[in-house]
Amino acid sequence: MPQDTAATGGFGPRNADTPDLIEPSIRTALPHYLPLGIFPLILAAAAYGGWWLLPPFLFFAAATPLDKALGLDGRNMDPSKAPARRLRWHNLPVWAWAFLWPPTLIFGLWRILVADPSFAIWEDMLLAIILTMEAQAVFIIGHELVHRRTPWERRMGEFLLSSASYPQYATEHVYVHHAEVGTPHDVGSAPKGVSFWQYFPREIVSNLTNSWEVAGRLLARRRLPVWHYSNPFWRYGIYIAFWFSLVFWMGGIWAVLVFAALGFSCVFSMKISNYMQHYGLRRVRLPNGRWEKVSPRHSWNADWKFSNWMFFNMQRHADHHALASRQYPLLQINSPDESPHLPGTYSDMMNVVLRPKRWFEKMDPLVDQWRKHFYPEIDDWSAYDSPVSAARPDALDAIIEIFASAPRLASWIERNPELLDNLQEQEFTDLDLPKGFIPDPEVESIARRGLARVYWTLEMSVEEMKGQMAEIPAADAKETAEVVRNWSNDRVFQVGMHVLRGNLSPAEERIALSNLAEATIVTVLSAVLADSVDRRGPVSEGGAAAILLGDLASREVQPGVAVDILFVHDGAGDDQRLCALFLDTLTGLARNSLLFSPIPPGSDTSLVRPLGGLAEYCRKVGAGGVPDLTRARCLFVTGDSRIASRAAAEIDTLLKRA
């Protein structure tokens, strides 16, 4: 007989029994009063210490063995037959916990920080651990209350969250996490392959920044300034000030630091739960550009009976996201055919989360099963899994397009997500008009290609590009190389996207990139020359020239082209030094460039030659090096302009000898 999918993880019909229906009553509510049993145990531990510190730890440790002993819950309450007035017996333990926790925490802090030192240090430490372990439930009760409709319950939830130094969760969770769950916009929904340790810092930062942005947007819609008194951050600040002022009064600055650290540990535990509740599950992008509606398939479920009693059905996370307004007694357990199930209890999974290798081994196959079961039509999820989707969620449509058809561009945007911003620039959008702007598809294709072709092969000439680069502020040649590299990377990406979309042919791509390569090299060399003149005065009477070789010379440039440039000079020391500076700056330009491949170390001796030493250069390179000179073209000259014609004559002589 197969195991229940809730215990093993998995998807698809497994002949699961239909959940038993229960009615709201004192009897069905009674198990949810179990969490209140911790309060007399904590109060006794705080009052007497010693062996009284043991019962709270035993209480905390009971969840895992009792989950295994009592098994799965499998009971649902019919929401249509359970109006809010019938849930009062279920609400009482939530309200009771909310009102009991603050005085219990204050009493515990008072015993540790203020009361006569009747406790040993180890007793104070154990009591602090007990308070911290119970404080983790703040996020269960606080989460339940911030979803309620009555203001006093929401305010109480915020106050509870502030005791763990995290009240902004109330805003971010409701307005960001629930709205964007399962999309790259939600940092709380970890993509497949992202470990908890990668996820945690981003989630902490985004929770604060996103909650502040949401609060500002909500006020702006009401035409109110961000500092208006109705901004919830005023309340959050007051709540935080209350707790930290109280702790400071009791124990001073060190107590404040310890209190903040203990609050952080509670947040850490909550983020583990959040990570595993959504790991690897994604809502797909629909053809109309919208995200599919949130459904139970977008959260991991569990349904262990004792944990349901103790944690107010927190494990039924899938139904909570499908209908966030449901109070905890009404949360449904979905069948494995509707929602994925974790392959163990929350305690089991928390033990695995912190070890990424084990976590991936356990969960990634289940994520793959989930994808095959719910989205059999999707073969490639790489765009959804890539970190670039989280970095640029607004560009997901383009990311999906790139990952599906252009691995080279995909690798570029994974290394440099900012490249996607270029798809919003007018110079790109005006050339890449939306599909359907002309009724006739053939005419539309011709028009789109015509716009891109005219722009990139005619309008964006070498001179035009040099003019645009010249407008970019830069302090010196080194900075010029950096800003020009970034500018050219943007242009290379735009050209690549036009090729991907059929707006440019490969031949037209080579024209555009050849123009870009020449403009980039000339701009950098001119900046080096300007630096040299500024520092050492006018160039010598001799001169130097930059001679393009290979694909650069024949204008057959593709992304990653080799920087085949030969610098020749008249032999003067200043000319040789200048050519070495040219090459050194181009080496920096080619680093992290999409247009050029890196210049190998040690190239300076072979690529900088006196004019009379070209024959020696060819002998050192060998027979294989001579044909490079058949594709030689002078691009840049400084000093005596005749050096270009003299170099051409020397090359012609060498080729005839070969």
Mean pLDDT of 106-132: 87
Taking the C-alpha atoms of 83, 88, 90 and 95 in order, what is their torsion angle to the nearest 10 degrees? Answer: 130
What's at 444, amino acid-wise? E
Rounded to an integer, the average pLDDT of 385-392 is 86
Q: What is the Cα–Cα distance from 138 to 263, expressed in whole angstroms?
A: 10
Helices (H) and strands (E) in the chain, counts: 31, 6
Say what the pLDDT of residue 442 is: 67
- Answer with the residue of higher pLDDT: 19 or 348: 348
Residues above pLDDT 90, as percent of the chain: 48
Residue 2 pLDDT exceeds 50: no
CA distances from 554 to 56, 225, 564, 628 (A): 79, 60, 11, 11
Residue pair 186/176 in contact by the 8 Å Cβ criterion? yes
pLDDT tens-digit readout, 289-328: 788 999 999 999 999 999 999 999 999 999 999 888 889 9
Confidence bin at 624 (pLDDT 50/70/90): very low
Over residues 154-206, the pLDDT tens digits come to 999 999 999 999 999 999 998 899 989 999 889 999 999 999 999 999 999 99
Q: Worst-scoring range by mean pLDDT, 37-46, 277-286, 514-523, 604-613?
A: 604-613
441-657 topology per CATH: Beta Polymerase; domain 2 (3.30.460)
- Domain ranges for the chain, please list them: 5-373, 380-424, 441-657
Mean pLDDT, residues 506-515: 94
The answer to whether 587 and 580 are in contact (CB under 8 A) is no
The pLDDT of residue 15 is 39
In three-state secondary structure terms, 542 is coil
**Contact (CB, 8 A) for 359 and 196:** yes
Is the model's pLDDT at 105 over the cut of 70? Answer: yes
pTM of the model: 0.78
Distance CA 210, CA 215 (A): 9
Kindly tell me if the per-residue pLDDT of 604 is higher than 60.
Answer: no
What digits encode the pLDDT tens for the residues 78-101? Answer: 888 888 778 889 999 999 999 999
pLDDT band at 602 (very low <50, low <70, confident <90, very high): low
Is the confidence at residue 433, as pLDDT, over 50?
Answer: yes
Residue 438 backbone class (left: φ over 0; alpha: ψ -120 to 50; beta: rest): beta
Residue 539: predicted pLDDT: 66
The answer on pLDDT for 654 being more than 80 is no
pLDDT tens per residue across span 558-574: 999 998 888 888 776 67
Looking at residue 356, its pLDDT comes to 94
